[in-house]
Amino acid sequence: MKWNNKGYQFDEIGKLFEQRKRIMIYGAGEQGIYLLEKLNFLNCVDGFIDQDTEKQRTGICGLPVLEPDAVLNKRDKVHLIIIGTNQHNAAEIKKALVLAGYSEGSDFWSCEDEKTTAVFALYAYGKVYLSSSCLIPSTVCNLNCEKCLNFTPALNTFKRHVTKSVEQLREEVDLLFHWVDFIPRFQISGGEPLLYPYFCEIVEYVGANYRDKIGDRFETVLNGSVIPTDQQCLVMKKYDVLAIVDDYTENVPICSRNRKKIIEQLVRFNIRMEDNFVPEWFDLDIEHMDNSQLSGEEMAAYFDNCGNPWNYFEKGKLYACNFNSFAIKAGLIAETPDDYFDLNAEITPSRKKELVEFILGYNNRGYAGLCRHCAGWAKSNPKCVPVAVQVGENI
C-alpha cells in the first residue's frame, strides 16, 4: 500500500481505540488462553465469553467467563471483543455478533487479525506490537539448496556470506526492542543457526534481556543436518526456545543420517520441538519473473495481494519483506530507502505510527523492490518446487 496519509493512516479507527481500551475474549479454550498470553503486555483483558457452563462457574486464568447472551442480548459498549476460536467457530460467532449490532474491525475482530491488534495496541496504549521478526546471526549454511528462500546459492557464488559479531547482534536486538514492546514470534534463523560460533551467547542475551517481550514462540529453525551440542541445548531449554526441525531427508543425505540424532538430543533435554515437514516449497522464481510492465498502482496491488507476513531487521533497518532484504544482501537487487524503516531515528509518537503503518504494509512506493522480480509469497504464489534440492554435490 502506498502511503496517502503518512503517520495518520489509522487515526479514524484509532480514535475509537483511544476511548475503548478494554478487551473481552470470545472463546475460553486453548486459542483464547493463547490470545490472553499475547495481550498480557497491555493488561487489557477483563474476561472471556464462552458457552461452557463449568468455565462460567470457575473462571479461566483468574478471569471471569460470561455466557454469550451477556453480550448478544445487550450490546457491550465498553469492551472490544476479540474472537479466540478456530475458524469454523469464529465464522458462527461473527454472524451472531453482527446480528447483535456489532461491527467487524471496530467492535470485534478475530485473533488472526494481527493488523487490528497492532493498531489497537498503538492507539489504546501507545505500544508497538510486531507480530513476528527474525534475527540472522550468520548466513553461513552447510546446505546449498537450489531454491533457498534466503538465496544461499547466490551468497555462495558471490561470496557474500555475513557472520555478525555478538556485539553487533546485541546492538541490533537492543534497537529493535527499544522500539517494539511485544513480539509473539521471534526467530533466530540463518543460514544454519547452530553453525554460528556464538549461538549460545546470543540466545542468552536475547533470553536474559527480552524474554518477557517475546511470546510463546521464541524459536530457532534448524535444517536437520547439524546435531546441537549439549551447551546449545542447555541454553535453549533455559529460555524455552522452540526448535523447528526442517525435514529434508528425501533430498539431502546428511539430513537422512543426522535428523534422528538431532531429535533424540532435543528430546533428551526436553526442548520444545516442531517437526517441520512440507511436501514442497513455493518458488519466488526471481530468475524468470519480470513485472516491469506493471504500473506503480498495479505493483502496489501486487504487493498487497502477496501479503507476506515476514519482516527482517539488521543494522537499524526494519524491512517489511524479509525476502526483499535477503535479495539485497545476496546482491541480486539494489537497496533503496523505500525498502526499510529506519530504527536509528528518534522515537516520537508520530514515528511510532509510521512504524506500525510500515509493518502493516504501507510505504512511500507502495511495494518492495523485489516485487518487480518475485512471484510472491505462498498464499498468492502457485509455483512450487521439490524441497531442498542441492546445487552441486549432495552432502
Q: What is the pLDDT of residues 8-21, one digit of tens each?
A: 999 999 999 999 99
With a pLDDT cut of 90, the percent of the chain lying above it is 95
Provide the b/e sequence for 285-313 (b: ≥16 CB within 10 Å).
ebeebebeeeeeeebbebbeebebbbbbb
Instruction: Give tens-digit pLDDT for 115-162.
Output: 999 999 999 999 999 999 999 999 999 999 999 999 998 888 878 899
Q: What is the mean pLDDT of residues 88-103?
A: 95
Confidence band of 30 (pLDDT split at 50, 70, 90):
very high
Q: Are 248 and 143 in contact (CB under 8 A)?
A: yes
Cα torsion for 75, 80, 84, 87, to the nearest 10°?
Answer: 70
pLDDT at 395 over 70: no
The domains found in the chain, sorted by start residue, are 11-125 (3.40.50.720), 132-385 (3.20.20)
What was the pLDDT predicted at 393?
64
Looking at residue 276, its pLDDT comes to: 94
Task: Give pLDDT tens digits for 213-254.
Answer: 999 999 999 999 999 999 999 999 999 999 999 999 999 999
Virtual CA dihedral for 304, 289, 379, 33, nearest 10 degrees? -70
> Does the structure show a pLDDT above 60 at 281?
yes
CA–CA gap between residue 42 and residue 118 (Å, rounded): 11
**Mean pLDDT across the chain:** 95
pLDDT the model gives residue 160: 87
Give residues with Cβ within 8 angstroms of 43, minimum separation 6: none
